[in-house]
Every structure is written in structure tokens, then in C-alpha cells.
Structure 1
């Protein structure tokens, strides 16, 4: 996009880039300023900022000690960040390094077991007991869920989809992961009411292949490598520049 001039204030340009930077700084609120009216509002905001800048210069605020100290602190902070970025950004990892990291940290990438289950949720133990009798007498679990469950999953025959440990409330979780495929539970009480659970299947915990988690592994390996090189560089710099820790 051309960085065209869109306004001037006291001889200072306001450009399209200034406008886009302001828009970007608004984050999620930027959407409400993307139309013509919003653009005009942002231009007026940039003009207002430049007017305050011009007035500050005329008043000599740029010579205030408080301002000068703030500028010095900001420049110091920015230079620290810039130096760190210049050191860390070029660091990369090879596929071989990522694979070695994966082999050394396989426990991190262990996939938890996954369960697929359906349930029927009702408010009272009596209702749950009656439904369990119907199920045990051969009535279809899915149809009973559609007709009786107060959970939105009832519309799907009670199907909750696939989930892992910790995704359901503890009482539900404990029962599901102790069941066998096609088993139907006794009524389970939770904060939501009484559940009858039917387990479709459950997968065991397993270690994925490298290709399945390559992006995650590479990211973690890169972070680890950068931390190691940062620590090593810090030790090297301590040999060059004197350090005194006056209070720990």
C-alpha cells in the first residue's frame, strides 16, 4: 500500500502508515473503524495527537527533566529488547535436532486416552433408575436420550463425542474411564443432575509419531535451544562486564 500523505499539522505529515499503525494498535476494536466514518474518526485522532505534540514543543516540554528521564529509560529498554531480538531471531533448529528432542522428551508428547460416550441427564435419581430399567430391558439408549435427556446432547441420542481425562466433571470422568465399551453405568450424580452413561469406545494412551507433532516439537525445541544459548551468552558477557549483586 502506498504510504500517501493524508494530512499535515504545523508542517508535520500524517501518512497512511500512521493511520494503519493506529488501526493495528486497536486490536479487536479495529473492526468498528474500518468504514469511511471510522477512517475519518481515526484521522481526527491522529490530528489531535499532532496538535498536542506541536503545543508540547512550543511549551518546551521536551526539555523537562521528567520527560528526558522517561526517554532515556525507554531508549534503554528498547535497546535491550532489540539486542535480545538480534541475538535470538537467527537461531533455528534442523529437522534432525527436532527429532532428537522428540526422542529425548517422548513423555511430554504422550497422548492421553480418549473416550467416546453418550449419556442421559435427568434431574432426579428416581427418573434415572426408571430409565436404567428401560435400558436393561432392551429399549434403545439413543431414543431414550432424545426423549428424556435435559442435556443438549439429547438431540444427538446423548452422544458427547470424543473427550479426554479432565474435560468432564470429576464424578463423570472417574466413571467413564473405568468402564468397558458398550457398558452402561449406574446413575451418577453430579452438579448437573443424574447421568446414565454408555461408553462407545476408549483409546489407550499412546506416543504419537514425530510427523504427527512435528510443528509442536520444532517450536519447543527452538525455545529450549534459545534458552540454552541465552544462558550461555549471559555467562560469556559476565566475563566481559563486571556484575555486582548488592541484594538478593
Structure 2
């Protein structure tokens, strides 16, 4: 990207790179979307020029000598130096391939995807009506159409489709029936607090262990955080021997 000079305020240049930095720093990454056209970027440039004039005027007015400003500068320096020291302490920490692989091998259970079922259902409040609908679908009536006609569950709009779910996501009676059915099989009436369910299993997923490649990034992030935490704790332990620390325990009493 060519770093064009977009404006000059006194002897200060405002460049395209300066503008990109402002846009990139906007919360939530909204800058690129908000300033994606020439009109919006011109408005942003105008505001950058305004702020630079405010800055230059503050220098001329010697506001940097104001005691309140000096206090703010001291606080900012304290916080920046504190964070810089932490960043410097941990910046060289890395996670090696063999460390990730070893963690993966020792923690296989963490990377197992559970058994899942994809089921559709028809939920009916009245038992007699539910039995009639159950007889109809078992006699060959299209399950999705029956769900749209009779079900009182919002899933009726999708032909009763509930998508995939694992154990512990549905009420016990429903879950027990769904996981016991074979793919394509339709249940007898299943009673729950919501009414009477007619369940059809559309698909099943058996438990699987994710591959190392699938979870390597997740493992690396975890191990990196762990290493950084240990390095930080070790440093604090040493510093406690170096500096006197007094805690006012009474301040935390109710």
C-alpha cells in the first residue's frame, strides 16, 4: 500500500497509513465496514485534521505542563510500562510440536465428539389424536406433512426436524426413545410433560475422536496460556522476595 500524504497540518503530515491505523483500532473491527467508501474516508480525514489542530493548539497553550495532564501521563506511563514488562516476560514462550502431540495423546477423551441423533417429531397434546396420527404415519403418510398439520411444536415449520442433538439435551423420556431407535424407525407414543411425541430418527453420528490436526490450534492455545501463567507466577514469586508487600486485611472484612 502506497503511504500517500492525505493532509498537512502545520508541519505534521497525515498519511494513508495513519488513517488505516485509526480504522483498524476501531472496536469490533467495524472500521473497515464503516469507512469503505470515499465519502466516509473524507469525513474521517476531516476529523483527523481537526484533532491534529486541537493537539497543536494544546502544545501552543502549554497544556502539557498542566498538573492534571502530568498526573494522567504518569498513570499512563505506569500502566504501559507494567503491560510492556509482562509482554516482555512472556514473548519468547513457544509451544513445540511434540508438546502438543504429547498432550493430545494423553487426553484423548477430551477430543471425543459424543454420539448424536438427528430426529424429527410430532408433538400432540391429546393422546387419542396422537394415536391416530401415529397410525397414519406408520401406514405410510409423509411424516413431515403430518408434523406440519398436527404438531404443536414450533419445529412443525421444518416438518418436525429437531436437527442433531447429543444426550442430555432433551427430556429423558424423549431422549431414551430417540437414541434407542434405528435410522428411519418411528417410535410408539412417547409421553412427556409437553404432551405425546411421535419420533422419527433421520440420522445418527457415532462417537468419534477428532484428529490431532483438527485440535492442534486449540491445544497450542491452551498450552501457551498455561506456560505464560507459570512464567508469570514464577516471576511474581521471585519479586515477593525482592519487594516488601503489605496487605490491609481489615479492608476486606465485612
* TM score, norm. by length of structure 2: 0.78
Structure 1 residue 41 corresponds to structure 2 residue 8: no
Which residue does the alignment assign to 2:174? 175
Q: By how many angstroms is 1:177 displaced? A: 4.8
Gaps of 5+ in 1: none
Q: Could you tell me how far apart the structure 2 residues matched to 1:28 and 1:130 are? A: 55
Which residue does the alignment assign to 1:217? 219
Structure 1 residues 176-233: Cα deviation after superposition (integer angstroms, max 9, x where no partner): 255313252525454xx86532234544545444344222222212222222222223
Q: Could you tell me how far apart the structure 1 residues matched to 2:75 and 2:176 are? A: 56
Q: Could you tell me how far apart the structure 2 residues matched to 1:55 and 1:105 are? A: 61
Q: Could you tell me how far apart the structure 1 residues matched to 2:30 and 2:193 are? A: 41
Q: Could you tell me how far apart the structure 2 residues matched to 1:99 and 1:220 are? A: 13
Given candidates 186, 190, 203, the residue that maps to 1:186 is: 190
Q: Could you tell me how far apart the structure 1 residues matched to 2:14 and 2:196 are? A: 64
RMSD: 3.0
Which residue does the alignment assign to 2:126? 125
Which residue does the alignment assign to 2:13? 13
Q: Could you tell me how far apart the structure 1 residues matched to 2:123 and 2:190 are? A: 12
What is the DSSP-based 3-state SS (H/G/I as helix, E as strand, rest coil) of the residue aligned with 2:64?
helix
Q: Could you tell me how far apart the structure 2 residues matched to 1:105 and 1:186 are? A: 38
Q: Could you tell me how far apart the structure 1 residues matched to 2:35 and 2:236 are? A: 45
Q: Is the CA contact 2:112–2:208 (under 8 Å) kept in the aligned structure 1?
A: yes
Q: Is the CA contact 1:111–1:207 (under 8 Å) kept in the aligned structure 2?
A: yes
Change (3 A) 1:112 1:48: same
Q: Could you tell me how far apart the structure 2 residues matched to 1:99 and 1:144 are? A: 51
Structure 1 residue 23 corresponds to structure 2 residue 23: yes
Gaps of 5+ in 2: 250-254
Equivalenced residue count is 241
